[in-house]
Amino acid sequence: MGKTITEKIFETHQRDVPSGNNVVLDIDVVMCHEITTPIAINDLQERGMDRVFDPAKIKVVIDHVTPSKDSKTATQAKILRDWARRQNIKDFFDVGANGVCHALFPEKGFIRPGYTVIMGDSHTCTHGAFGAFAAGIGTTDLEVGILKGVCSFRLPETMKINIVGELSPGVYAKDVILKIIKELTVNGATDKVMEFCGPVVEAMSMESRMTLCNMAIEAGATCGVCPPDRVTAEYLWPFIQDEYDSIEAAVEDFKKWHSDVDASYVGEITLDVSDLAPQVTYGFKPDEVKDIMELEGSSVDQIYMGSCTNGRIEDLRAGAEILKGRKIADNVRAILSPATPKIYNQALEEGLIKIYMDAGFCVTNPTCGACLGMSNGVLASGEVCASTTNRNFNGRMGKGGMVHLMSPYSAAAAAVKGCITDPRNV
C-alpha cells in the first residue's frame, strides 16, 4: 500500500519505536524563541548538560517581545542570546535582524521538503507548507531536541483536505482555513496531519500555503502539509541552486515527498471555495466562524495586521489595496507589524508602508507582540480587535478583550469602515 507524505518522512527519520504507537524521530531543524527556550536552557545548565546536539541545526530568534519591554523580557532575551553565543549557534536573529519565527525561518531557506522540524511554539505547523513534518512541542521536548536531536510522536494519521473551485476576488487563504476549521471543529484533527491539496492549493503562493498550514493547530492537528512542487522550488531556489541543476530537477526530486496515489487517509474532505465569502470568527474559539456579512456593522476598537498567520508581503499588499488613498475611521486605531525585516523593507520599496501610514496606521517593528497580548497593541477589557492573527481565545490579546479573526483584506476594510464589514463592498 502507498504512503502519505508524513509516513514517508517518519520512515526516513525513524530513530526508535519505543511502543507500537510511538516513534522517535531524528530532527532536522530545532527552532527556538525567547519565551519557551530559556527555561530549557536553565534546566540543562542546572543538570550540568549545557550542550547542543548540532549548532547548525538549531535556529534561534527573539521574536515574541522585541525589543524587550521590561526586565523580565530582557532577561529572557539575554538567556537566549548568551546561550546562542556560548553554543556557537550561527543562525541567531537578534534585534534589527529578527522577525516572527514562522515568517523569518522560511525566508532564510531553513525549511525543505521532507524535513522534520520542531519548535516550542504551536504554530510550527506553518512549515508543513514546504512538504515538511513540522510540529509544535513543549519545553521538555524542546530540551531533548536541543540535547539529542530527537523527538517522540504518536504516529499521526493523515486527513486529506481537497480544495477545489476558484477563489473569488476578496477571498483568501485565511478565509479558506477558517472555513475548514469551522467544518472540522477545534479538535476535529487532533493527532492528525492535515494534507492540503487540490487545484486551489496548487495555485497558491508559498505565503498562502503557510497561512493554510499555520492554522492547522486550531483544528487540533499535529501539522499541516502541502505537497512540494514548482512553487516550493521557486521559493527555495536561492538556497538550493547549488544542489540542483535546474528548478525542474528540484521539482522532480521533490516528488519523492508526495503522497502515493494509493496512500491511505483517515478522512477526506473536499471543499469547493468558488462561492466562499470572506470569513470571520465571532466567539472565543477559532471554529466559531461565520460569513462576514453576518457580522456586518459589529463594532471594533482596534485593527491588528501581522503575525505568523498574515504578516507576509502578500498580506500587506492585500490590505493596501483597500487602504490606498483612504483613512481609517475615527473610532478605531490600527496597527501593522510586518512579520520580518525583509517584508518590512519590501513593503517600503513597494510604497505599502506609506499607504498604511497615510491611512493612519501605526507601523511597528516585526514581533509577535499583540497577537498573544504581550506587547505592542494589548487590548483593554471590553475592547474588540479585528485581527489577522490566529487565536480568538478569551483574553488572548488582553484580559477582557475580544478578537475577531479575519483576512488582511477584511481587516483593512474594518479599519476604513470602523466596524466589521464585507470587504468586497468597500
| Contact residues: other proteins, CB under 8 A | 15-16, 18-19, 21-22, 24, 35-36, 38-39, 42-43, 47, 49, 64-65, 70, 72-73, 75-76, 79, 119-122, 124, 136-141, 143-144, 147-148, 150, 152, 154, 186-187, 190-191, 220, 222, 285, 372-374, 391, 393-396, 399
Residue 69 beta carbon to other proteins: minimum distance, rounded to whole angstroms: 9
Measured from the CB atom, the residue of 281 and 421 that comes closer to other proteins is 281
Measured from the CB atom, the residue of 190 and 205 that comes closer to other proteins is 190
* Burial grade of 121 (CB within 10 A; 0-12, 13-18, 19 or more): buried
Residue 368 beta carbon to other proteins: minimum distance, rounded to whole angstroms: 9
Measured from the CB atom, the residue of 342 and 396 that comes closer to other proteins is 396
Neighbour count for residue 197 (Cβ, 10 Å): 18
Residue 356 beta carbon to other proteins: minimum distance, rounded to whole angstroms: 26
Longest dimension (CA), the chain: 62
| Strand ranges inside 54-172, DSSP E | 58-61, 92-93, 116-119, 133-136, 150-154, 157-164
Residue showing cell 547542543: 52
d(CA 397, CA 374): 8
Residue 382 beta carbon to other proteins: minimum distance, rounded to whole angstroms: 14
d(CA 128, CA 210): 8
Neighbour count for residue 11 (Cβ, 10 Å): 10
Measured from the CB atom, the residue of 188 and 408 that comes closer to other proteins is 188
Residue 98 beta carbon to other proteins: minimum distance, rounded to whole angstroms: 17
Residue 119 beta carbon to other proteins: minimum distance, rounded to whole angstroms: 8
Measured from the CB atom, the residue of 141 and 195 that comes closer to other proteins is 141
Residue 318 beta carbon to other proteins: minimum distance, rounded to whole angstroms: 27
Measured from the CB atom, the residue of 285 and 324 that comes closer to other proteins is 285
Task: Provide φ and ψ at 304, rounded to 5°.
Answer: -125, 125
Measured from the CB atom, the residue of 108 and 148 that comes closer to other proteins is 148
The sheet with strand 384-387 has its strands ordered as 362-363, 333-336, 302-305, 384-387, 402-405
* Helix pair 341-349, 313-323: axis angle to 10 deg: 40
| Cβ proximity of 249 and 153 under 8 Å | no
Q: Is 298 strand, coil or helix?
A: coil
d(CA 364, CA 376): 8
Name which of 186, 399, 167 is nearest 279 in CA terms.
167
- What type of residue is 21? N
Measured from the CB atom, the residue of 198 and 267 that comes closer to other proteins is 267
The C-alpha cell of 199 is what? 487545484
d(CA 386, CA 88): 41
Measured from the CB atom, the residue of 76 and 337 that comes closer to other proteins is 76
Residue 90 beta carbon to other proteins: minimum distance, rounded to whole angstroms: 25
- What type of residue is 4? T
Residue 345 beta carbon to other proteins: minimum distance, rounded to whole angstroms: 29
